[in-house]
Structure 1
């Protein structure tokens, strides 16, 4: 369990730094688009990859969620 928590922190910190976000901005994005749930569900695969892959994967996931949410609004 502690490994997963450490990995969640690792993911949000690296995403925040890569996207030049403040901590609250990154946390809001992760909460709004259910990124923590995605990371938990994908932990076995994601934790074996590198930082760049993780950031890219999370970016793709967030962009897809944003598109879905926009379709729901319209």
Structure 2
């Protein structure tokens, strides 16, 4: 498994716990919003910042559909 995929697993689990979601709920959200690819696209940013900032950024993307200006 690549380091990016390991990080994606971490990100999904961290997001699930931070938002109090069940496994099926977070899986559905990530699938519906394309969040797995979003996290992978932002891997180099997310793996060096606070996981809480990642959660906030994912929430902003879910709400607005806008990607961060990198």
- TM normalised by structure 2 equals 0.84
2-structure distance, mates of 1:62, 1:11: 15
Deviation string 1:41-69 (CA, Å, 9 cap, x unpaired) is 1111111111111111111111123xxxx
CA radius of gyration, larger in: 1
How many pairs are equivalent?
Answer: 65
- TM normalised by structure 1 equals 0.80
| Cα RMSD after superposing both structures | 1.1
**Gap runs ≥5 in structure 2:** 66-70
* Displaced runs of 4 or more, over 2 A: none
- Pick the structure with more helix per residue: 1
